[in-house]
């Protein structure tokens, strides 16, 4: 597949940030180059009639067509969101009607849980210690009308859900899929009504979400609007083009890179669990995304561990708090019954080497020992 707006056809190597083991990652090389070109060529409003607008419209259509092919969607099913934080709201509330049942799980994202708290008829699905959702309760509601919020993979633990089992039990329920962490690593199931993607899942830019609406769904724009537009037409065209290029590059390398990342993650987990006592890992790697690990250490404060690693040049995330502003235990870890304090979350990015993983593991081992010795 040809790449969009990559001049010269050359691929410059991505600058590897050795100490970056947070979820965030810089744009891929081709996406950065495409973004620069798009800022020069795609600045005009595609909806207008000028020559520059016509050029911008072609660029937008090409970007959407490229993403549709890789995500196995139709171009007319794709809606670009410049406000990815509203992706779950658009997906769920566009399907959910007053009086209908809304079903979600204890490990869903906080945006989904917030929707549940604002709705009258809800059912929270329980979660096993493995992180897998218990879908048996769906049998009681499968013949009714409502919406099931279905997470493909958890962004905090990496645990992948059994989408086919859930959909088979869901019956008449409409399906609002959350692919914001899964990206292209998990294929779309045979039945779905809405699916939300975040470009950051494939090393694309922040500020670009994709709301896929199935042709057969009964989705209705949940926000006040005029005309037939499904979403606000406020998404940045240059960022949209960069997201499409990043997705193309990601897909080209997905198979080999995923295998390498899974091996590196196994090495990391093995090192830490074999050398550090009183350590819990959330979820089994066999049933998880290949690049995410969540560790909890007894007798250690997660924030202190994060800061100790930061001083050594390693940036990691902490699941000990849902957000930096709300220092409460992670609802995901609590739902799984995993130790909620002393937690760090590590994301391995493409190109990470065994040596880098080993140095990180040794730094964690040392930091945990020092903090416990206090």
Q: For residue 241, what pLDDT is reported? A: 93
* Strand residues in 185-252 grouped as ranges (E): 194-198, 209-213
Query: Residue 198: how many CB atoms within 10 A of its CB?
Result: 24
Q: What is the pLDDT of residue 7?
A: 38
pLDDT at 46: 67
Backbone φ and ψ of 11, nearest 5°: -115, 110
Helices (H) and strands (E) in the chain, counts: 9, 12
Q: Let me know: does 129 contact 336? Beta carbons within 8 Å.
A: yes
Cα distances (angstroms) measured from residue 28 to each of 15, 262, 304, 312 = 9, 20, 31, 26
Predicted pLDDT of residue 8: 39
Whether 336 and 273 have beta carbons less than 8 Å apart is answered as no
Walk along the chain (374 residues) in steps of 10 and give the mean pLDDT of each run: 39 49 82 79 67 78 95 96 94 96 96 95 96 93 91 96 94 96 91 96 93 92 83 87 93 89 97 97 96 96 93 85 56 93 93 94 96 90
The pTM of this model reads: 0.88
């Amino acid at each position: 597949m040809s790449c969009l707006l990559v001049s010269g056809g050359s691929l410059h190597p991505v600058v590897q940030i050795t100490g970056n083991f947070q979820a965030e990652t810089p744009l891929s090389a081709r996406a950065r180059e495409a973004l620069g070109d798009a800022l020069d060529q795609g600045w005009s409003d595609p909806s207008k009639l000028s020559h520059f607008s016509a050029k911008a419209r072609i660029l937008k259509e090409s970007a959407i067509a490229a993403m549709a092919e890789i995500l196995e969607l139709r171009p007319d099913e794709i809606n670009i969101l410049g406000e990815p934080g509203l992706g779950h709201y658009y997906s769920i509330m566009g399907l959910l009607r007053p009086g209908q049942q809304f079903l979600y799980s204890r490990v869903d994202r906080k945006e989904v849980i917030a929707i549940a708290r604002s709705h009258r008829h809800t059912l929270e699905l329980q979660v096993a210690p493995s992180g897998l959702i218990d879908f048996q309760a769906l049998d009681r509601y499968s013949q009714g009308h409502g919406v099931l919020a279905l997470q493909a993979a958890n962004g905090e633990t990496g645990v992948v859900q059994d989408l086919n089992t859930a959909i088979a039990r869901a019956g008449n329920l409409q399906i609002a899929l959350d692919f914001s962490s899964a990206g292209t690593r998990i294929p779309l199931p045979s039945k779905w009504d809405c699916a939300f993607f975040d470009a950051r899942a494939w090393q694309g830019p922040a500020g670009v979400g994709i709301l896929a609406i199935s042709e057969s769904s009964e989705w209705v724009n949940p926000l006040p609007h005029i005309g037939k537009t499904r979403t606000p037409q406020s998404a940045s065209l240059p960022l949209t083009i960069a997201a499409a290029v990043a997705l193309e590059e990601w897909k080209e390398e997905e198979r080999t890179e995923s295998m390498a990342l899974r091996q590196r993650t196994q090495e990391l987990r093995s090192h830490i669990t074999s050398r550090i006592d009183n350590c819990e890992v959330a979820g089994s790697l066999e049933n998880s995304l290949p690049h995410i690990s969540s560790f909890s250490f007894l007798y250690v404060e997660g924030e202190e561990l994060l800061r100790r690693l930061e001083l050594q040049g390693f940036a990691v995330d902490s699941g000990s708090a849902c957000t930096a502003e709300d220092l409460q235990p992670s609802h995901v870890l609590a739902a799984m019954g995993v130790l909620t304090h002393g937690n760090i979350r590590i994301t391995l990015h493409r190109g990470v080497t065994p040596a880098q993983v080993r140095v990180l593991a040794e730094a964690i081992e040392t930091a945990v020992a020092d903090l416990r010795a206090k």
